[in-house]
A and B are shown apart, each in its own frame.
Chain A
Amino acid sequence: MLTYAEKIRELSAQLLREDKVDMVIGFRKGSLPMSNEPCMVKNPGDADKLVWDSNCGVNLASYLTDRKERIGIIAKGCDSRNINTHIIENKIKREQLTIIGVPCTGMIDKRKVSNSVDFDIIEVIEEADKVIVKGAGSEQTFDKKEVLRKNCEVCIHPNPVVYDEMVAEKVDINQDVDRYADVREVEEMDSDDRWQYFEDLLSNCIRCYACRNACPLCYCPTCFVDESQPQWLGKSTNATDTRGFHFLRAYHCAGRCTDCGSCETVCPMGINMRAFTKKLEKDCLENFEWQAGLNTEQRPPLDSFNPSDPDAFVK
């Protein structure tokens, strides 16, 4: 991983020095184990602060919305797809961006690691494919693939789909993964069980909207859940309102979601709201052969019409 970080620093410093960009958006070292902080670097001298390891899960496309500067941005596979989505949706211009692509080997699920050890974590070190977790007088080693985020486990686009520079050779893609095993599991339930499944899923939601705020797709100036005229949803912790929020938000992301996992990663309660978005992602793939953000030429399925679109549900 060290080479990734070195290359990122070198490219960023160069872009800034040659005045090709006003800032570079990347990650700097966090104050806790398994945490890095998104940051912007404006001076070539500060490029040394940039880091790269398996704790860069936050989708940096979120930081581009409506920015006017010339920006260098570090992008892994999912970030690059959301950058494309941003470009399609006029949230940023391609000309503003210099994309530094990072072939991604997957991001660590901090919660999974913390729950897998019975000590307070003081330090986490990555060595090749191993993750070494250290506490006061204790140590445990994991294979990195055991502690990946769930969306990273089934990722088939780890390489950036759009970039100006690449920090390394593209990584091999595992095409054999079963991307939708979890969705099928729900699809196979009967109606009542499905209802209960989502009821349990959302039972501890505190309506903080971290999922929405971290989502690179959720940039509406006023979210439907905050609207007061008309007021679509109540604002309390009522279960029906809570479900209404998650359900509608997922719909708003249909055909746009790249399964980057930001929503789940940032949830303070660890709720897997990808259970909603992934179903729609699967439907988009099956019905429209669509995967979001692979290029900027094709319009997403919900804003284009094709006579061959499936319509069996219309009677």
Chain B
Amino acid sequence: MKGQTEMKIIKIKKEAWGQGLEKLQSEFRLFGPVADKDGFEFKELAQGQLPVMDLGNTRLSAKSTVYPQTQVMFNYTLDESKEDHHIMKEVDLNGQPQAVIGLRPCDAASFQLVKRNFDNPEYPDPFWVRPYEQSTFVGLACDNPSPTCFCTSVGGGPYSENGLDVLLSREGEVILAKVITEKGEALAKAAGWDTDADENVFDERRDAAEKKITAKINSDQLKGKNANDLFSAPIWEDIAFACLNCGTCTYSCPTCWCFDIQDEVKGTEGKRMRNWDSCMYPLFTLEGSGHNPRPVKEMRVRQRFMHKLKYYPDKYDSDVQCVGCGRCIDLCPVNIDIRDVCETMNNYKPLKSES
């Protein structure tokens, strides 16, 4: 992998952690989990604010650090006395470098899945790619995965380094940092973290953490199935019945990337922006003619699962578009469980099978 460095493990004591982060703030915008009402979320850290590192995963994913829910793309003026009226002007995307501290390996891996969409060869999306390139990801290994975590069955793990520049592992007050990339090394240097650790406990801790993950999904049969068979399988009415089309699954999902583009004007000054959108909403696909290819919820629910578990793996010849963070399972108000849906799809056999 490009930017890979020779593996190095650093020991960071409590004071050095706080001091280091403070030092980083002169160079980086820092994001990390902070308390928010009865949960916590990724937010930009204020000067001297420490990220919460000793609780479970954030309610929403870390995707907003690169891909905020509302993002201005262009500004313009409708004032005809100005020379450039009605012409779109790109917002400045060359912001300060940023570092995301304390994201879990599942969220880190999600950026790698989403990258295929935004950083595609034909039309790389600057509004995603630039913030992504400016980010250093400092992950926190999960020693206490939650009962709905199933990262290990989708190619990840509580100590997975995929998509991370640095991986942290906590033990009491001491943090061990495994430097993975050159970006990570630069960050550690800027923070002044330079005490080599005496031993490598990562492998040992990884094995212990992985053993704690009991939830899993089976998607091994999906590759070989025909998308049209799954699409027309008589399984969707039952799967979708309870769904309220609330979209919570898509908003909380680290790998859901769909968006809408909207213009907003105040006085003569306008902006074009994009906002997260969701395939759960009927308006998502409603055409100008009034025709809607997905008018009923069964179709929308099917789209969500087919996209994640079948279209994406087929399109990119990869694993499923899911990192096993379990958020959609925890947050679904009617208990639609992607593990069960995946199982149903995985086991589905078309009635008139040709074999």
> Which A residues are within 8 Å of any B CB, using their own CB?
30-32, 35-40, 58, 62-63, 111, 115, 120-122, 203-204, 206-210, 213-214, 222, 226, 234-238, 265-266, 268-270
A39 with B242: CB separation less than 8 A: yes
A236-B70, A266-B246, A268-B248 known; A31 and B329 CB under 8 Å? yes
B251 with A268: CB separation less than 8 A: yes
A204 / chain B contacts, CB cutoff of 8 Å: 36-37, 41
Pick the contact of A32: B41, B246, B330 (CB < 8 A): B330
Binds A, one of B125-133, B173-181, B333-341: B333-341
Is B283 an interface position by the 8 A CB rule? yes
Pick the contact of A209: B36, B39, B60, B247 (CB < 8 A): B247
A39 / chain B contacts, CB cutoff of 8 Å: 238, 241-242
**Which size class do B's interface residues fall under?**
35 or more
Is B50 an interface position by the 8 A CB rule? no
A235 / chain B contacts, CB cutoff of 8 Å: 260, 262, 275
Question: Which residue of B has the minimal Cβ distance to A214?
Answer: B244
A208 / chain B contacts, CB cutoff of 8 Å: 246-248, 251, 278
B334 with A58: CB separation less than 8 A: yes
Identify which of residues 294-346 in chain B touch chain A, using a CB-to-CB cut-off of 8 Å. 329-331, 333-337, 339-340
Is B134 an interface position by the 8 A CB rule? no
Is B117 an interface position by the 8 A CB rule? no
B285 / chain A contacts, CB cutoff of 8 Å: none
CB distance from B135 to the nearest CB of A (A): 21
CB distance from B265 to the nearest CB of A (A): 10
CB distance from B283 to the nearest CB of A (A): 5
CB distance from B343 to the nearest CB of A (A): 10
Is B69 an interface position by the 8 A CB rule? yes
B333 with A270: CB separation less than 8 A: no
Pick the contact of B146: A120, A209, A237, A265 (CB < 8 A): A120
B60 / chain A contacts, CB cutoff of 8 Å: 206, 268
Question: Which residue of A has the minimal Cβ distance to B326?
Answer: A32
CB distance from A122 to the nearest CB of B (A): 6
B48 / chain A contacts, CB cutoff of 8 Å: none
B275 with A210: CB separation less than 8 A: no
Is B293 an interface position by the 8 A CB rule? no
CB distance from A159 to the nearest CB of B (A): 24
CB distance from A139 to the nearest CB of B (A): 15
Additional A-B contact list (13), CB under 8 Å, known A38-B334, A266-B248, A270-B37:
A31-B339, A37-B334, A58-B242, A120-B144, A122-B147, A208-B247, A210-B247, A210-B333, A213-B247, A214-B244, A237-B275, A268-B59, A269-B37
Number of A-B contacts (CB under 8 A): 105
> Which B residues are within 8 Å of any A CB, using their own CB?
36-39, 41, 56, 59-60, 69-70, 144, 146-148, 238, 241-242, 244-248, 251-252, 260, 262, 264, 273, 275, 278, 281, 283, 329-331, 333-337, 339-340
| Residue from A120, A206, A214, A268 whose CB has the most chain B CB atoms within 10 Å | A268
B283 / chain A contacts, CB cutoff of 8 Å: 222, 226
A111 / chain B contacts, CB cutoff of 8 Å: 38
B262 with A236: CB separation less than 8 A: yes
Docked complex Cα distance between A115 and B36 (Å) = 14
| Residue from A30, A208, A209, A214 whose CB has the most chain B CB atoms within 10 Å | A208
Q: Which 5 A-B pairs have CB atoms at the shortest separation, nearest pair first?
A: A210-B246, A266-B333, A236-B70, A30-B335, A35-B335
Docked complex Cα distance between A210 and B336 (Å) = 14
Docked complex Cα distance between A32 and B334 (Å) = 11
CB distance from B340 to the nearest CB of A (A): 6
A37-B242, A210-B248, A213-B246 known; A265 and B333 CB under 8 Å? yes
Pick the contact of B38: A207, A226, A237, A270 (CB < 8 A): A270
| Residue from B252, B278, B331, B333 whose CB has the most chain A CB atoms within 10 Å | B333
A234-B262, A238-B70, A268-B59 known; A38 and B241 CB under 8 Å? yes
Question: Which residue of B has the minimal Cβ distance to A112?
Answer: B38
Question: Which residue of A has the minimal Cβ distance to B144?
Answer: A120
B331 with A268: CB separation less than 8 A: yes
Docked complex Cα distance between A236 and B71 (Å) = 9
Question: Which residue of B has the minimal Cβ distance to A55?
Answer: B335
Could you list 15 A-B pairs, sorted by A, with CB under 8 Å?
A31-B340, A36-B335, A206-B251, A207-B69, A208-B278, A213-B245, A222-B283, A226-B281, A235-B260, A235-B275, A236-B262, A236-B273, A236-B275, A265-B333, A268-B331
Question: Which residue of A has the minimal Cβ distance to B327?
Answer: A268
